[in-house]
Amino acid sequence: MTVSIMRCCRRLANLLVVLLLALTSALATAAEIEVRNIQLAPADEGGYVLSADMAIDFSPRLEEAVSKGLALHFLAEFELSRPRWYWFDEKVVKAHQTWRLTYHALTRQYRLSTGALHQSFSSLDEALRVLSRLRNWQVLAADRVLPGESFDAALRMRLDTTQLPKPFQIEAISNRDWILTSDWKRWLFTVPAASPVPASAITPGASATPVGAEAK
């Protein structure tokens, strides 16, 4: 009797180890978008614009889904917080931008839409290249900050599974093929004390470190 109980305990322990390893592996590979080259720079018309590059790794399941006509919605989220030692950090800015990626079988073209802008591409790779380049996104008005102030900034991009049809939303809960998201990329942003240089005056190919910012 004691031997049987010990064998059962060992089997349960082995099963728990296997489940733990599987869970750890799934969590380690869940982030399939990587945020790179963030730049928060002064805009010509005032305020600040955000630019960044996204390394997007599409799963075969997502490629199949969009090629069969399923619309995929992507969401970029930006936050700027003022640290406060005596209370919770103050949210100064919360902004988001959305894209809709579709495939049209009649024209055999992929379409990427954001706001009133629509672009068509002959391949999925071309559409993803444009989606991966976030450029000159107006996220901060000049009157929201003061020269010399420091803030905690954060940016991420993800596939918005809440926009999927209900059957796919249910599948996305248990199938990691639908998990396409980046971690929050956080850095310290300090408002320049001197007169800022407009974003258009930045030399192409220069360092993409945010103005007054240090990526963590």
Whether the CA torsion 131, 132, 135, 140 is positive or negative: it is positive
Q: Are 155 and 50 in contact (CB under 8 A)?
A: yes
- Neighbouring CB atoms inside 10 A of 76's CB total 24
Q: Are 156 and 35 in contact (CB under 8 A)?
A: yes
Q: How confident is the model at residue 11 (pLDDT cuts 50, 70, 90)?
A: low
Residue 116 tokens read as 């009133």
User: Between 102 and 165, where is the model more confident?
Assistant: 102
* Domain coordinates in residue numbering, the chain: 32-215
Q: Is the pLDDT of residue 140 over 60?
A: yes
Of 30-34, 51-55, 110-114, give the lowest mean pLDDT range. 30-34
Question: Rounded to 5 degrees, what angle do the CA atoms 62, 104, 113 make?
Answer: 75
Assigned superfamily of 32-215: Immunoglobulins (2.60.40.10)
Q: Please return the burial class of 102, using the count of CB atoms within 10 Å of its CB with bins 0-12, 13-18 and 19+.
A: middle
User: Between 207 and 33, where is the model more confident?
Assistant: 33
Length of the chain: 216
CA-based nearest residue to 63, from 17, 96, 32: 32
Q: How confident is the model at residue 198 (pLDDT cuts 50, 70, 90)?
A: low
This prediction has a pTM of 0.73
Q: Is the pLDDT of residue 94 over 70?
A: yes
Instruction: Give the whole-number percent of the chain exceeding pLDDT 70.
Output: 75
